[in-house]
Structure formats: C-alpha cells, structure tokens
Amino acid sequence: MQDENKPAVAGMAELCLPPHLRKPRLRRDEAVEYLNLKHGIVRSVATLAKWAVMGIGPRFHKVNRTPLYPTTELDAWAEEALGDLRCSTSEG
C-alpha cells in the first residue's frame, strides 16, 4: 500500500505535498512540516526558532515579526544537512 505522503514516482514530491505547503514561503510551523514530508528531516518549531537566533538554520525573510522560509532555501539547507551519499560508515 502506497503511503499518501510519499511520492509514487521520483520527482513527484511537490504534487504530494498538502496544498498549504505548496506556497513559495512558509511560516515556521509549515517549514517544519515541509522538511519532514519532503526531506524526512524531523525538527521542531522551537529548534528552528533557536537556530534563527543563532544564525545556523535555514535562511528566512522577516515580515514584521513573522519569519517566512522560502521553500528554495529549505530545500538547499536540507541538501546541505543531508550531505553526500555514502557506501560505508567508515567514509569521512
């Protein structure tokens, strides 16, 4: 049975995202859900908030007091966080 949150075909992840996550910029709670669904990276809203203070998480825009994360930045950050594919645990 196919999981409804997983794409049936490679490259179809965008089509499988819920409509509220298909916007170009996401609020912090949506960014957390996006990272989980699209990249399998589980983080909390509090972690993204702390990283924003420390300057180590995904880049974002700030509109008044609201952080908005561009999905392109979330994707780039996720790719960097995941790193290169490995064949062995002994690879550096």
Confidence of residue 11 (pLDDT cuts 50, 70, 90): low
Q: Is the pLDDT of residue 16 over 90?
A: no
What is the percentage of the chain residues whose pLDDT exceeds 90? Answer: 74
pLDDT tens, position by position, 31-50: 999 999 999 999 999 999 99
Using CA atoms of 76, 82, 84, 88 in order, give the dihedral in degrees to the nearest 10: -170
Residue 18 domain flag: yes
Number of folded domains in the chain? 1
The sign of the dihedral angle between the CA atoms of 27, 28, 32, 33 is negative
Residue 35 domain flag: yes
Instruction: Give the structural domain span for 75.
Output: 13-82
pTM of the predicted protein model:
0.80
pLDDT tens, position by position, 49-74: 999 999 999 999 999 999 999 999 99
Name which residue leads in pLDDT, 86 or 4.
Answer: 86
Residue 7 domain flag: no
Residue 67 domain flag: yes
